[in-house]
Amino acid sequence: LGVDWLLVSLGMAAYHIASGDIRILADLMATGDVEELFWVNLAALALFMGVMEAVYGRTPGKYLAGLRVRSALGGPPGFFQALFRNLLRVVDMFPISIGFPGLVGAIVTFFNPRRQRIGDILAATVVRRHLPLRERKFPLASASPRRLELMTAPGWDGRAEPSEIEEDACAGERPAPLQ
């Protein structure tokens, strides 16, 4: 969240500077009336994160953390699912006013068996670790028996795609049907 918040804040500052509205931003900072700026930034963050999660399944911050957002039913989240889960971030951030932002979300996440925050529960999404295929303990179930054999062979270093090795090693062999 911190990386994404920083990116959105820098993007909004760049927008205000480019559009000549830097005076408005400076006035808000000088008067200490940052509540309006906070809510505008939060709305921009929800939109940014919703679009990134709907299109890529993750935000830059989630990418750096090795996380991915998925629909609870499997597959990538839809646009409205991703947007809804991020708009509900406001609920997760309660009680901001007493100096403990995110307390409600942290408590709900801690006691939820799937470690979902309120936005995830209501939007039917989950956040999961994303591991590249070569780092997974269990390869994809849809892989052919020959592909699984090649992926688990002692000589496979994880860098080449098993399909490339399979083409060289099998040269026309067909994998056995699943039983």
Q: How confident is the model at residue 120 (pLDDT cuts 50, 70, 90)?
A: very high
Task: State the number of CA atoms in the 13 A half-sphere of 170 facing the CB.
Answer: 17
Burial of 164 (0-12, 13-18, 19+ CB in 10 A): exposed
Highest mean pLDDT among 26-35, 36-45, 108-117: 108-117
CA distances in angstroms from 103 to 82, 93, 175, listed in the order given? 22, 7, 53
Look at residue 39 in the predicted model and tell me its pLDDT.
Answer: 78
- AA identity, residue 16: H
Q: What is the mean pLDDT of residues 31-52?
A: 81
In this prediction, residue 165 carries a pLDDT of 43
Helix (H) or strand (E) holding 84: helix 79-87
Q: What is the pLDDT of residue 171?
A: 41
**Cα(58)–Cα(66) distance, integer angstroms:** 9
Residue 84 is predicted with a pLDDT of: 93
More confident residue, 30 or 137: 30
Looking at residue 52, its pLDDT comes to 92
Residue with tokens 């795609």: 161
pLDDT of residue 20: 74
